[in-house]
């Protein structure tokens, strides 16, 4: 049984694909009001290539008492540790928690909140967005890397992902993958917010991109992830080109007045740089400007 916390974009994408492959799934919703809305909707809807499919997946609130053996945590990074703390008493001995959060920092927070569980980290290039409550569009096929920095042994339940057609690989260096994605997000997302532009328009700011990429390379190297630093600047330019017409996830969050994951992206990078006493002026200045911008829009800095 997979317990899936968060019936948002990625939670729905995973729950519906697992359920249609015959894997038992139970959604964990915030409270009885949310469960009531879910029951009214009658299940989750996944829209793929314009086709909507409805899945009446079982759901319960986080306050239920059923033990949890395998938890897919599909909430934002800032919600991850509080959510797990709420569920800690339900985690069976030897439970696994699969963490879908972008960025870094929330994984350690979750591990502290549930020291009895095995935490498996994920980094995904899949894309999904909510069209309405309990209705999600599968917008971009991608790949998910999973790994556990403490234990190289892949879990047996990866077979469920294969059965569900969820493209994935077991990574022996998941932290490097997460650092690389974090670096890409730090180079691209804040600039799209500050310039209020699509990813592709960042091509008009080559010097800023080059300075940030070079500082991020230095940071990755000092943090022991030299491999993740290789070819970063070229990769930043490649991602900008490949996603030229898109608005970055942070831009979308800010435009829609939603809290961002800044503390787990640029905030985490700046904290790591300070720990290593690295003078990275462009990165620090970007962080300061982004915080001021969020503040001016009434959005939190954490």
Footprint of ligand KPL (CB under 6 A):
184-185, 188-189, 199, 239, 243, 248-249
Q: Is residue 109 a contact residue for ligand NAD (CB under 6 A)?
A: no
Judged by CB under 6 A, the stretch of 97-105, 172-180, 218-226, 289-297 that binds ligand NAD is 97-105
Joined together, the tokens standing for residue 1 give 């049984």
What string marks each residue from 194 to 223 as x (binds ligand NAD by CB under 6 A) or -? ------------------------------
b/e burial code for range 269-285 (CB count within 10 A of at least 16 → b)? bbebbeeeebebebbbe
Determine phi and psi for 81, rounding to 5 degrees: -65, -45
Closest CA to 174 of 225, 128, 110, 126: 225
Establish if 10 lies at the interface with ligand NAD (CB under 6 A).
Answer: yes
- CA neighbor of 115 nearest in space, from 75, 135, 85: 85
Which is closer to ligand KPL, CB of 172 or CB of 244? 244
Q: Which does 185 bind (CB under 5 to 8 A by kind): ligand KPL, ligand NAD, none?
A: ligand KPL
Question: In the structure encoding, which two tokens stand for residue 166, read together?
Answer: 């969820």
Would you count residue 185 as binding ligand NAD (CB under 6 A)? no
The only residue of 23, 41, 47, 62 in contact with ligand NAD, by rule CB under 6 A: 62
> From the candidates 17, 181, 225, 233, which is the catalytic residue?
181
Question: CB–CB of 163/215 below 8 Å?
Answer: no
Only one of the segments 77-85, 109-117, 221-229, 291-299 lies at the binding site for ligand NAD (rule: CB under 6 A); that segment is 77-85
* Among candidate residues 84, 91, 147, the one with its CA nearest the CA of residue 111: 84
Angle between helices 281-296 and 266-275 (to 10 degrees): 140
Of 28-36, 109-117, 165-173, 267-275, the window that binds ligand NAD (rule: CB under 6 A) is 28-36
Minimum Å gap between C-beta 255 and ligand KPL is: 13
Nearer Cβ to ligand NAD, position 67 or 82? 82
Shortest distance in whole angstroms from residue 289 CB to ligand NAD: 21
DSSP string, 67-79: -EEEEEE-S-HHH
Q: Which positions from 118 through 147 interact with ligand NAD, judged by CB under 6 A?
A: 124, 126-128, 130
Q: Assess 168 for contact with ligand NAD (CB under 6 A).
A: no
Q: Does 75 bind ligand NAD (CB under 6 A)?
A: yes
| Other CB atoms within 10 Å distance of the CB of residue 239 | 19
Catalytic annotation present for 76: no
Sequence-separated (6 or more) residues with CB below 8 Å from residue 204: none
Other C-beta atoms lying within 10 Å of the C-beta of residue 23: 17
Looking at the Cβ atoms of 42 and 206, the one nearer to ligand KPL is: 206
The least distance separating ligand KPL from the CB of residue 268, rounded to whole angstroms, comes to 14
DSSP letters along 38-69, please? HHHHTSEEEEETTEEEEE--EEEETT----EE
Residues interacting with ligand NAD, by CB under 6 A?
A: 5-11, 28-30, 62, 74-77, 79, 83, 86, 100-102, 124, 126-128, 130, 261
- Residues assigned a catalytic role: 181
């Amino acid at each position: 049984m997979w317990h899936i916390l968060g019936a948002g974009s990625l939670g729905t994408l995973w729950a519906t694909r697992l359920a249609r492959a015959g894997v038992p799934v139970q959604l964990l919703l915030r409270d009885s009001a949310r469960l009531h809305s879910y029951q009214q909707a009658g299940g989750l809807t996944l829209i793929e290539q314009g086709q909507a499919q409805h899945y009446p997946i079982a759901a319960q609130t986080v306050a239920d008492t059923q033990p949890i053996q395998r938890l897919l945590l599909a909430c934002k990074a800032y919600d991850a540790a509080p959510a797990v703390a709420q569920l800690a008493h339900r985690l069976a001995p030897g439970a696994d928690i699969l963490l879908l959060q972008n960025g870094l920092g929330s994984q350690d927070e979750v591990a502290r909140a549930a020291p009895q569980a095995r935490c498996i980290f994920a980094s995904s290039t899949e894309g999904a967005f909510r069209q309405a409550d309990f209705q999600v569009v599968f917008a971009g096929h991608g790949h998910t890397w999973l790994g556990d920095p403490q234990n190289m042994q892949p879990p047996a339940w990866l077979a469920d992902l294969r059965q569900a057609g969820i493209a994935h690989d077991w990574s022996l260096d998941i932290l490097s993958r997460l650092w690389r994605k974090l670096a890409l997000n730090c180079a691209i997302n804040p600039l799209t917010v500050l310039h209020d532009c699509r990813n592709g328009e960042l091509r008009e700011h080559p010097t800023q991109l080059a300075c940030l990429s070079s500082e991020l390379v230095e940071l990755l190297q000092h943090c022991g992830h030299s491999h993740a630093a290789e070819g970063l600047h070229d990769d930043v330019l490649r991602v900008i080109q490949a996603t030229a017409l898109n608005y970055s996830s942070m831009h979308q969050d800010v435009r829609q007045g939603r809290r961002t994951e800044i503390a787990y992206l640029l905030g985490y990078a700046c904290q790591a740089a300070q720990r290593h006493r690295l003078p990275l002026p462009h990165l620090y200045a970007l962080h300061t400007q982004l915080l001021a911008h969020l503040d001016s829009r009434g959005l939190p800095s954490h």
